[in-house]
Structure 1
Amino acid sequence: MMKRCFSILPQNVRFSSKFTSFNLPKLDLADFIDSNKRGINVLPSYRDETASTTQATNSKELRLLSKTLQGQSYRDQLELNPDVSKAINNNIMAVHIPNNLRRVATNYYKEIQEPNSLHRPCRTKMEVDAHIASIFLQNYGSIFQSLKELQKRVGPDNFKPQRILDVGYGPATGIVALNDILGPNYRPDLKDAVILGNAEMQERAKIILSRQLNEVVDTVEENVSTEKEQETDRRNKNFQEDEHIGEVMTKKINIMTNLRSSIPASKEYDLIILTHQLLHDGNQFPIQVDENIEHYLNILAPGGHIVIIERGNPMGFEIIARARQITLRPENFPDEFGKIPRPWSRGVTVRGKKDAELGNISSNYFLKVIAPCPHQRKCPLQVGNPNFYTHKEGKDLKFCNFQKSIKRPKFSIELKKGKLLATSWDGSQGNASRLKGTGRRNGRDYEILNYSYLIFERSHKDENTLKEIKKLRDENVNGKYDIGSLGDDTQNSWPRIINDPVKRKGHVMMDLCAPSGELEKWTVSRSFSKQTYHDARKSKKGDLWASAAKTQIKGLGDLNVKKFHKLEKERIKQLKKEERQKARKAMESYNELEDSLQFDDHQFSNFEVMKKLSTFHGNDFLQHVNRK
């Protein structure tokens, strides 16, 4: 248990007579104060039971157990780089009439609100700028939070990828987030950004990336004179004082990132960031997901990571779950627990004895999941078909997603002004009807991200690593994690909180995805442990939970997927029936019209003739006639 103390002393504090009231033992100052790596002097009472200092950065974190702090997700509110925000506002948004952007953004919001809808590439210049004004911030926050999780799980010192690939519809959003995380001194060997859609998005990416210091190309020679350097500094100062508002000549902008319009097929990358890229056509699920994940895994270098970002809705979750299933093949390892790297072999589906399965797989390509899953067994929430959620019985189906708050920059706040993007709200939660209105609720300057993500790590393929993987798999034959287990008691298998903890007086209830491969419900009471109870009250959705609990039970029964398969067959049958009825009515109208023209019987007016033709050729025909 973490011990408490009464103060944190900065380096320049000296002991005085006011400390005598505490009856402290007579110790030297050097014995009483310990300096940690951050240069902050921390009293020894903040150490844990192993006498090691914690990673806390403030007094609130110091009260947490070291394991709890290690399992927490990134806590700070996200905020877009101010220089990037200013460039978007001055050089992209300022060249448009605001209502034009709002109108295009509104149409796109309506489009993606349809059931099982997917993000798509921008088609026009106006859609490009509307995407940046509306969708860019959400995607940036989702990628930033996911990369922060990866950085924490592998360690900041181990997260320095040298070859990066970002694929998406936005202005190299993954590269923008990565640059902000790793800082201005981050200079990798290769950064490729594949931007799909209208070519104007690449021009916008140049503007945005040019505002980050680690994208500046160093072209100054070492022997430049002092006078020229001073003149350059003078010009830069004048430019900053007189900010340019309007279009920018992007041809003269040079950045470190290579902007591409096609996906590479032969290079290898240490980090691959995919934003809404595994499924482009909902009718192609799951075949398209399988094909796309296979391609990107083929260009992932040994020791590299692949980060998959999808929407936080049922369709996005099922895409993530399918990619996880096709990669880990949990059906081939029914008795295996833990996160032992799995062999990646496309098309292996035959189930049998484990030794026989592994004997048939000749591969040096192994993968394991880093986050968010604490296990590599079958996903307990996966149903296998996004259409199941559209049924009346499927509205209660649960799926895995995460939320995060991000501060709205000026261009985002300006976009949401007016009637087009204003959403009605009331004050029922605060019991104040006078708070009813439209627009930003209570004038909030932030919005909530909603996303699903998945992170894989490819193992190294040297002989020692392959032997270690085989040894782990052989030793895990009889290993099993029961309900309530913490796995191997490391962050590799700690259960993850998948819903907001329910905090009541005296106890906290948490829904966890556990290393047992099941959804579990844990209850932490004050009587169980005051320190654990304190940490539970500070927990949030998305954290790893590293402590025990008073009660630990299975939280959800097995899904009755057969029922949904039956409902889906009935739905498809009904759709086919409606299509046949529609085709039959169109044919009857055509036959009536043909008979009328054949016998020169003018029983139909010209408009009625056109209307009947429209039933056969489509509604667009009738609309065209009405405009005439």
Structure 2
Amino acid sequence: MSTAATSAEAPQPSEAERINALIERINANDDDMAQLMHELDMMGDPEDMEGLRELVEFISQRDQHTPESWVHLVRQSFGETIPEGVLGESEMKLYTTLYGEPIIQEIFEESLAEEEEQESDQLLRENEGGNWEEIKYEEEAEVEDDVPVVYDMEATPEEEETIAMRRTREVAEQLGGEIMLEQFENEAVPDSAPRAHALTTDGKFQTDPSTINLPKNTVTGPISIILSEFSNKHIADTARRLFGGPGLPHSTTTAPPRAQLPQLAIPINASQNFMGEMEANAFLAALYPGIYASTLSVLVELRKRLGSEWIRGLISQEGGPNVLDASGGGAGILAWRDTVRAEWESMVPDHPDGDPIPYGRSTVLAAADTLRLRASAILDNTTFLPRLPDYLHVRDAPTVHDKREAPKRKQFDVIIAPHSLLNFDEEYERKLYVQNLWAMLNPNGGILILLEKGRQKGFEAIASAREMLLKRHIASPGSTEYDTALESPEDNVTTTKEPGMIIAPCTNHSTCPMHNTAGPTKGRRDYCHFEQRYIRPDFLQRIMGAKDRNHEDLKFSYLAVQRGRDLRQERGIRQDSEATDAAFEGFEHRSESLPAIQPLALPRAVYPPMKRRGHVIFDLCTPAGKIERWTVPRSYSRQAYRDARKSHWGDLWALGAKTRVPRNLNLGDKHGEGKKERLARRAADKAASREADEEGDMDEHARDEEEEEGEESANGRRDRSALPEVPMRKKGQNIPSWKKHADKKRIRLAVRKQSAADL
């Protein structure tokens, strides 16, 4: 760390020579180094030394994280008591926003005080008795005054030496070495593993950090204040009564399949006209966290696929973006505002804290007064609607009977509709609801987000809405018109579809390979859904009664479509079998001179990758609209194998694979027969078959007796003692058919022999 004075005429050693000389000096003192490290381990309190090493190692990982992920890691590691120097000024503000003011703990206060009391020209070491002893060393000769000092004008400013750096330098000096400069570190110790490929990073489906912490200032704090006026026990009892008991299986929480619970819609929704005080509290406490987490996850994915220009264009337009929360009660608006805030801070990094952020115009559907009052306390500058407008039955132009201009329609840039499709019992009602939301979208690039629980019925509702939008509204190559079938073929009405595109999660516009167009099925095991982990707030923890964990893995199915713009034509995106073949070959070594790879033309992992020893298996939904299983072994590519080991559920994959096979799907019974119904039907069929066999055996035995009596009457009475004995069938006994035929054959042969003997 010190700068050595050298002569102006003396030749400067090269960097390689300095590194080799240092390595030789360290190798020559291996024994001394081992003895000194042993002594260092023995001095002082071992727990303090171990804590220092762990803290230094922890701080060394700081450059590998973003500010958000670093703050989250510090929170998990230290809790509310943060060691001094771990967080910077901006990170401290972010920590205060998310978790409140931390407690700063000074490190090694006593040790620092004792070190400051020592003289600066002494080098001390703590002995086994806990006292400090001086280490004698020889001082270097003083530098002559006439020898000029050489300064490196291009060198970076010297950093302030910390406690850990000073102790490390002292150890290095005692060993006869020095601290290796940062610019030589990568040359001496090359990185054993490559960094993630750029296409792998772009294709990630996850927030940063991957676990969502609900902000305290905008979400958990206001909700806690509202709920503090009511009894925790009453809120918990109401939530359990509404959402299916302990665990709240009928809320946004997804119960495991082994629970075998009925797949029901969320009992309360924002569109119902009456909602009691405690029901509104349960809506905030039990539904807001899950809706916020799933919506934020989808918005982050949209931001990645559409690019920063999409959301920045909405922010910069006159009046800002116009956003509608159609069924989240305001939780979707909270997620949208956090997305806008993050983008605004990246656009204007030095904006004052008190300056307003251009959130735009927010509209929330809240029919009940109790829910509206609570949501208005959380959301400012928000318009609340008692019901959604009906644009399907409003004329688009003047008619023969009404010459007036068509009424103006309110258009929204983003519509968020979480957990609203399963509230309709009939399929046609869901389609009308989705069509009405589509009509309210801005025809110049509006985004519609549909969300449902990650179960079979939730996926089928989302897939049915996707099929309807592709069939009637979104134009694709080879499908630009939609024929409305009326009573006679001559009266059919042809409607021209408009531009549009599915942004996520699908990277194809063909029929969903997991959806059965004949209708809902039972016994389905394969369906498209994804996962997002979030930390439960304290009020939800109390309702859940959970003591073993404080997080939840939220599973959901979703669809995000854009109206009025088709990026497939604007960016030249291909979604067909050729795009799938190209993705299978991989783009790891693609030349930079070629056109950029579009993530919307890559396959997506629809299940968690199976990471086995020496290979990784992906279940991918390809741009050709097929579900295939791709295998990436270690021998395929070092970069691809490393990225495959780091991949997650929902990621887009661009580095290819070695093998690919079609994946067999279990889509259930098309006739609506589940596992229980199928087993019951098989048991009934088996019982009926057994009864028929018993009746047939009795009839056949009667016929055999009649034949034997006839033969005896014709040929005289025979000696039946010569016939083989056949055991009598007991009641309820099931005799195999081959045994029956064998016994009958023996009787027939014996009768024939006896008849031949009589003749």
TM-score exceeds 0.5: yes
- Deviation track 1:591-613 (CA, whole Å, cap 9, x = no partner) reads xxxxxxxxxxxxxxxxxxxxxxx
Question: Does the 8 Å CA contact 1:132/1:170 hold for their aligned counterparts?
Answer: no
Question: How many angstroms apart in 1 are the aligned matches of 2:282 and 2:586?
Answer: 46
Q: Percent of aligned positions with the same letter in both sequences?
A: 25
What is aligned with 1:290? 431
Alignment match of 2:215 (pick from 68, 81, 84) = 81
Question: How many angstroms apart in 1 are the aligned matches of 2:17 and 2:372?
Answer: 63
What is aligned with 1:64? 196
What is aligned with 1:541? 649
Letter of the 2:671 counterpart: H
Alignment match of 2:262 (pick from 97, 100, 115) = 115
Alignment match of 1:256 (pick from 369, 378, 381) = 381
Change (3 A) 1:346 1:452: farther
| 2:169 aligned with 1:171 | no
- Deviation track 1:240-263 (CA, whole Å, cap 9, x = no partner) reads xxxxxxxxxxxxxxx222122221
- Deviation track 1:111-151 (CA, whole Å, cap 9, x = no partner) reads 72752311232632211101111121011100000001001
Question: Does the 8 Å CA contact 1:511/1:555 hold for their aligned counterparts?
Answer: yes
Q: 1:513-552 alignment to 2 at 5 Å?
A: 513-552=621-660
Alignment match of 1:324 (pick from 450, 453, 466) = 466
Q: 1:465-484 alignment to 2 at 5 Å?
A: 481=580, 484=584
Question: How many angstroms apart in 2 are the aligned matches of 1:450 and 1:320?
Answer: 14
Q: 1:478-493 alignment to 2 at 5 Å?
A: 481=580, 484=584, 489-493=597-601
Residue 535 (structure 1) shift:
0.1
Question: Does the 8 Å CA contact 2:520/2:672 hold for their aligned counterparts?
Answer: no
Alignment match of 2:446 (pick from 300, 304, 309) = 304
Question: How many angstroms apart in 1 are the aligned matches of 2:619 and 2:575?
Answer: 27
What is aligned with 2:282? 130
What is aligned with 1:380? 513
Give 5+ residue unaligned stretches, structure 2: 1-13, 22-151, 157-181, 256-260, 315-319, 345-355, 392-408, 487-492, 588-595, 681-759
- Deviation track 1:172-211 (CA, whole Å, cap 9, x = no partner) reads 1111001111117541442212224x221111112222xx
Residue 62 (structure 1) shift:
7.8
SS at 2:531 equivalent: strand
Change (3 A) 1:485 1:299: farther
| 2:559 aligned with 1:447 | no
- Pairwise CA RMSD: 4.3
Alignment match of 2:370 (pick from 200, 224, 232) = 200
| 2:531 aligned with 1:403 | yes
Question: Does the 8 Å CA contact 2:326/2:415 hold for their aligned counterparts?
Answer: no
Question: Does the 8 Å CA contact 2:411/2:440 hold for their aligned counterparts?
Answer: yes
Question: Does the 8 Å CA contact 2:419/2:453 hold for their aligned counterparts?
Answer: yes
Change (3 A) 1:19 1:257: farther
Question: Does the 8 Å CA contact 2:196/2:643 hold for their aligned counterparts?
Answer: yes
Letter of the 2:301 counterpart: E
Letter of the 2:541 counterpart: I
Residue 551 (structure 1) shift:
0.8
Question: Does the 8 Å CA contact 1:341/1:366 hold for their aligned counterparts?
Answer: no
Question: Does the 8 Å CA contact 2:584/2:655 hold for their aligned counterparts?
Answer: no
What is aligned with 1:152? 304
Question: How many angstroms apart in 2 are the aligned matches of 1:476 and 1:534?
Answer: 27
Change (3 A) 1:43 1:143: farther
Q: 1:335-374 alignment to 2 at 5 Å?
A: 343=480, 345=482, 347=484, 361-363=495-497, 365-374=498-507
SS at 2:413 equivalent: strand
Question: Does the 8 Å CA contact 1:331/1:378 hold for their aligned counterparts?
Answer: no
Alignment match of 1:139 (pick from 291, 303, 306) = 291
Change (3 A) 1:279 1:412: closer
Residue 459 (structure 1) shift:
2.7
| 2:19 aligned with 1:21 | yes
Residue 361 (structure 1) shift:
4.7
SS at 1:539 equivalent: coil
Residue 292 (structure 1) shift:
1.1
Question: Does the 8 Å CA contact 1:87/1:207 hold for their aligned counterparts?
Answer: no
What is aligned with 2:456? 314
Alignment match of 2:231 (pick from 79, 82, 97) = 97
Question: Does the 8 Å CA contact 1:308/1:454 hold for their aligned counterparts?
Answer: yes
RCO comparison, higher one (Cα < 8 Å, 6+): 1
> Which structure's CA Rg is the greater one?
2
Alignment match of 1:191 (pick from 353, 362, 374) = 362
Question: How many angstroms apart in 2 are the aligned matches of 1:60 and 1:300?
Answer: 50
Change (3 A) 1:543 1:477: closer
Question: How many angstroms apart in 2 are the aligned matches of 1:344 and 1:43?
Answer: 62
Alignment match of 1:270 (pick from 398, 413, 431) = 413
Question: Does the 8 Å CA contact 2:577/2:623 hold for their aligned counterparts?
Answer: no
Question: How many angstroms apart in 1 are the aligned matches of 2:481 and 2:418?
Answer: 22
How many pairs are equivalent?
436
What is aligned with 1:182? 340
Question: Does the 8 Å CA contact 1:268/1:300 hold for their aligned counterparts?
Answer: yes
TM-score with structure 1 setting the length: 0.61
- Deviation track 1:500-546 (CA, whole Å, cap 9, x = no partner) reads 11111111111111112110101111110011000000000011111
Question: How many angstroms apart in 2 are the aligned matches of 1:560 and 1:89?
Answer: 41
Residue 415 (structure 1) shift:
2.5
SS at 1:536 equivalent: helix
What is aligned with 1:238? none
Residue 460 (structure 1) shift:
4.2
Letter of the 1:445 counterpart: N
Question: Does the 8 Å CA contact 1:344/1:366 hold for their aligned counterparts?
Answer: no
